[in-house]
A and B are shown apart, each in its own frame.
Chain A
Amino acid sequence: MKKSYKIEVDCANCANKMEEAAKNTAGVKDATVNFMMLKMNVEFEEGQDPKSVMKEVLKNCKKVEDDCEIYL
Chain B
Amino acid sequence: MNKKQKKMLTRIIIAFALIVVLSLLPIDGYLEFALYMIPYLVIGYDILKKAFKGIRNKQVFDENFLMAVATIGAILLRDYKEGTAVMLFYQIGELFQSYAVGKSRRNISELMDIRPDYANIEKDGKLEKVDPDEVEIGSVIVVQPGEKVPIDGVILEGTTTLNTSALTGESLPRNAKPGDEIISGCINMTGVLKIRTTREFGESTVSKILELVENSSSRKSRSENFISRFARYYTPAVCYGALALAVLPPLVSMGILHAAPQWGQWIYRALTFLVISCPCALVISIPLSFFAGIGGASNAGVLVKGSNYLETLAQTKYVVFDKTGTLTKGVFEVVGVHHNKMEEQKILEYAALAESFSTHPISRSLKNAYGKEIDQNRVSDVEEISGNGVMAKVDGVSVAVGNARLMERIYVKPIECHSAGTVIHVAIDGVYEGHILISDVPKPTSREAIAKLKKNGIKETVMLTGDIDRVAQQVASELGVDRVYSELLPADKVTKVEELLAKKSEKEKLAFVGDGINDAPVLSRADIGIAMGALGSDAAIEAADVVLMDDDPMKIVKAIRIARKCMRIVYENIYFAIGIKVICLILGAVGIANMWVAIFADVGVMVLAVLNAIRTLFVKKL
A1-60 with Cβ < 8 A to chain B: 10-14, 16-17, 32, 34-39, 41
Q: Does B10 contact A (CB under 8 A)?
A: no
Bound CA span A35–B287, Å? 8
The answer to whether residues A34 and B218 also contact, given A12-B283, A63-B59 and a CB cut-off of 8 A, is yes
The answer to whether A13 touches B214 (Cβ under 8 A) is no
In this complex, what residue of A is CB-closest to B63? A13
Q: Does B144 contact A (CB under 8 A)?
A: no
Which residue of A12, A17, A36, A64 contacts B280 across the interface (Cβ within 8 Å)? A12
The answer to whether residues A34 and B217 also contact, given A13-B279, A13-B283 and a CB cut-off of 8 A, is yes
The answer to whether residues A12 and B284 also contact, given A64-B59, A66-B50 and a CB cut-off of 8 A, is yes
Query: Can you list 22 A-B pairs, Cβ within 8 angstroms, ordered by A?
Result: A10-B98, A11-B94, A11-B98, A11-B280, A11-B283, A12-B101, A12-B287, A13-B62, A13-B63, A13-B284, A16-B283, A34-B215, A34-B217, A36-B287, A37-B105, A41-B218, A63-B57, A63-B59, A64-B57, A65-B62, A66-B54, A67-B50
The answer to whether A16 touches B50 (Cβ under 8 A) is no
Q: Does B291 contact A (CB under 8 A)?
A: yes
Residue numbers in B under 8 Å from A64 (CB-CB): 57, 59
Residue numbers in B under 8 Å from A12 (CB-CB): 101, 280, 283-284, 287-288
Bound CA span A12–B284, Å? 5
Chain A interface size, as a band, is 20 to 34
Q: Is the interface of A mostly helix, strand, loop or mixed?
A: mixed
The answer to whether B97 touches A11 (Cβ under 8 A) is yes
The answer to whether B218 touches A32 (Cβ under 8 A) is yes
The answer to whether B284 touches A37 (Cβ under 8 A) is no
The answer to whether residues A37 and B217 also contact, given A11-B97, A11-B280, A16-B228 and a CB cut-off of 8 A, is yes
Residue numbers in A under 8 Å from B283 (CB-CB): 11-13, 16
Which residue of B57, B97, B288 contacts A36 across the interface (Cβ within 8 Å)? B288
> Chain A nearest CB: distance from B56 CB in Å?
9
Instruction: List 7 extra interface pairs beyond A13-B279, A63-B57, CB under 8 A.
Output: A14-B62, A16-B283, A34-B214, A36-B101, A36-B287, A37-B105, A64-B57
Residue numbers in B under 8 Å from A14 (CB-CB): 62
Chain B interface size, as a band, is 20 to 34
Residue numbers in A under 8 Å from B63 (CB-CB): 11, 13
In this complex, what residue of B is CB-closest to A38? B105
The answer to whether A32 touches B220 (Cβ under 8 A) is yes
Residue numbers in A under 8 Å from B108 (CB-CB): 36
Q: Does B231 contact A (CB under 8 A)?
A: yes
> Chain A nearest CB: distance from B282 CB in Å?
9
Q: Does B378 contact A (CB under 8 A)?
A: no
In this complex, what residue of B is CB-closest to A63? B57
In this complex, what residue of A is CB-closest to B104? A36
The answer to whether A36 touches B105 (Cβ under 8 A) is yes
Residue numbers in B under 8 Å from A39 (CB-CB): 214, 218
Q: Does B504 contact A (CB under 8 A)?
A: no
The answer to whether B53 touches A66 (Cβ under 8 A) is yes
> Chain B nearest CB: distance from A33 CB in Å?
8
Bound CA span A66–B46, Å? 11
Residue numbers in B under 8 Å from A13 (CB-CB): 62-63, 231, 279-280, 283-284
Bound CA span A21–B53, Å? 16
The answer to whether A37 touches B280 (Cβ under 8 A) is no
In this complex, what residue of B is CB-closest to A67? B50
CB-CB nearest 6 A-B residue pairs: A36-B291, A12-B284, A13-B283, A12-B283, A32-B218, A63-B57
Residue numbers in A under 8 Å from B287 (CB-CB): 12, 35-36
Bound CA span A20–B514, Å? 38
> Chain B nearest CB: distance from A63 CB in Å?
5
Residue numbers in A under 8 Å from B218 (CB-CB): 32, 34, 39, 41
Bound CA span A44–B280, Å? 30
